[in-house]
């Protein structure tokens, strides 16, 4: 059996692997060397090609019969007829239809991510409709040309310091980032600018969330 020749580049693994299936006592086949029908073993050689080892499919199927009397090897003349007489497919499902498993797994992952995003968005809206002190918002502060240390940074966190019937008062984080995903989940009071307080009305909170300016609420 050939060794796997997989490669890995940019987290993509692909390659191919030779496989062999042997069907002993396969019946009598005409042997050109013996010049008559002889008991034979049928051998199927094929190549499994894969992507991420899950998306799998087969190529290069070659059927051969091996004479059990003289050992002569012949290319099987009617492989479809032989295959149709088998009780189950000669190639395992994961090798011949593995791409369906990979496709199904990818589809399930997309669905789960969609459900997770929907649940997270529902929780955010619930928290924004009933804000609490110490809620932490991941927000788009907008670029500030005065920020010479990181001129492209615009995302940060804001902690709710007070709540009334009209809206919330927030303290922005001292540090800002160039991606919202970089904003850390945990923070201490020292991470926020206690001297700067901003008021955001309830309507503004919901509008910012709808426009993607307020991405996440942590409680």
Q: Which residues pair with 66 in a beta bridge?
A: 41, 73
For the stretch 89-117, pLDDT in tens is 888 877 776 655 656 666 666 665 666 56
Look at residue 77 in the predicted model and tell me its pLDDT. Answer: 83
Read off φ and ψ for residue 76, nearest 5 degrees: -65, 130
Q: Is the pLDDT of residue 1 over 50?
A: no
Answer whether residue 151 shows pLDDT above 50. yes
pLDDT computed for residue 89 by the predictor: 83
User: What is the share, in percent, of the chain residues with pLDDT greater than 90?
Assistant: 28
Q: Which residue has the higher pLDDT, 36 or 117?
A: 36
Cα separation, 63 vs 80, in Å, equals 10
Assign 4 a pLDDT band (cuts: 50, 70, 90).
Answer: very low
Helix count (H) and strand count (E) of the chain? 4, 10
Name every residue whose Cβ is closer than 8 Å to that of residue 104 and which is 6 or more positions away in sequence: none
Distance CA 108, CA 142 (A): 36
Evaluate if residue 140 carries a pLDDT over 60.
Answer: yes
Q: Which of the two residues, 198 and 113, has the higher pLDDT score?
A: 198
Considering only CA atoms, which of 163, 159, 141 is closest in space to residue 217? 159
């Amino acid at each position: 059996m050939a060794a796997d020749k997989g490669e890995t580049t940019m987290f993509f693994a692909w390659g191919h692997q030779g496989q062999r299936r042997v069907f002993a006592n396969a019946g009598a086949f005409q042997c050109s060397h013996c010049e008559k029908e002889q008991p034979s073993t049928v051998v199927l050689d094929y190549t499994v090609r894969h992507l991420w080892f899950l998306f799998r499919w087969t190529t290069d199927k070659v059927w051969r019969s091996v004479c059990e009397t003289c050992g002569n090897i012949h290319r099987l003349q009617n492989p479809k007829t032989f295959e149709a007489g088998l009780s189950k497919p000669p190639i395992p499902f994961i090798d011949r239809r593995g791409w369906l498993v990979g496709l199904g797994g990818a589809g399930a992952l997309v669905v789960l991510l969609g459900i997770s995003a929907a649940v997270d968005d529902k929780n955010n809206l619930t928290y924004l409709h009933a804000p609490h002190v110490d809620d932490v918002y991941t927000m788009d502060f907008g670029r500030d040309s005065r920020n010479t240390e990181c001129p492209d940074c615009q995302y940060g966190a804001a902690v709710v310091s007070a709540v009334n019937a009209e809206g919330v008062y927030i303290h922005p984080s001292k540090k800002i980032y160039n991606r919202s995903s970089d904003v850390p989940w945990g923070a201490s009071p020292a991470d926020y600018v206690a001297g700067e307080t901003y008021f955001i009305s309830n309507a503004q909170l919901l509008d910012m969330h709808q426009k993607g300016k307020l991405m996440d609420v942590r409680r």
